[in-house]
Structure 1
């Protein structure tokens, strides 16, 4: 093979996305591509920072704590959306609804802890995307509105798996302070008791924070057990394809109203194959 003396340069590389091809797009994962006078400009949406300030093509990362999947504390009041017109992230949808309103699409994404971006168009289509979202583009020719979820309070932090906010901290301090000041005569009795109750409550909340659907670390993807995949593929009966390190089988997810899926099984449990599989 040899280099060609001629090459094709697309008029707008931000829009030259081929669906089905891997990668984060012209500007990397979680970022947006806008055509400028001298070429593409890569931007991070609200709530995201550049992974490498010296290389905008590497994409963006969240600067807020992801939404909790605890049904008892969905934290919907801690998140909002950045509205962006003429913006889209083609491909990578995990849910698609038709004939809905923008308010319905917005609320559905807000209630879904896995939803990071919602795309809404004038036809009433609502597309939901997980992290990382790819192929971000901004152009006047794009007929769609993008809703990007972000944390309202960047000071929110997690400790031992539990989500704790400044608001909760302030409420606890006010409660403790009021009790201590109300009766100075019994301070020595109340202080140990209050300390014990506060600590017990914190640890109790930590113990209850369990995600209803386990996810793969750092990827925000649902984690299935081997038995679930074995049942879905009828004990790996119908083979769709085979590669150097894995075999792909046809499966049907009973938990997802019978949706057909492709299930890849590693042929050898070695560290290199496992890392390659997760990256893919």
Structure 2
């Protein structure tokens, strides 16, 4: 009896230790993540049982959190840089006016107005991006074809000034969402297609279509040849064409980032592909109206 008691206690202690060891590793990884370190992984060895599945799911969650935090930090750094630029320019212009009273005030005011407008546009774009991320909007029935026609009519004079032909076509399609956000999504796409187009006699095609359970908005434009590697980066914040540039047509670098966020907020997808003849094809697929 004594031997069986000792054997039972020893065997139970060993068995419990082996059973609880995975839980100890998971608990240690949880405490490490709670302390702020998201790079730690459990990587539990052994056969695929309930503990292994729990550990793998925890590792996947940590990887997603680490990527999300890194993306947010990169976005904050880029936004800070973009906001600092117009402020620094304004300070320089004011310093010049202070040290040189005879400087042309009309030119100074015009340059300050331009810089201030750019800062306001960037701030409004950041607010719109935050609103779309939070998904704090009321869903309504939206006719996507009417939205496309409204945007085309609004941007037609802008396209004419750039020597771009704007063409619309497609079916009457509807989805559930925010009319203001979907209008902004379409405006960003068409505006980008006009700006980043061929130097002369460019064309933009805006098309709406229906699929069995979704509706599709497609915006294509002529232009220079684009590589798939470059196209894959265009939805990142503050990316403008082939490089980070500042011109009167460059915008604030959030156009396609806002489009992607709005599409995802409406349970949709955004697909970018280079056109074989040059230019870009952008496809937004959204759930069809219920």
Q: Same fold (TM over 0.5)?
A: no
Scaled by the length of structure 1, what TM-score is found? 0.26
More helix by share: 2
Name the structure where strand makes up a greater proportion of residues.
1
User: TM-score when scaled to structure 2?
Assistant: 0.26
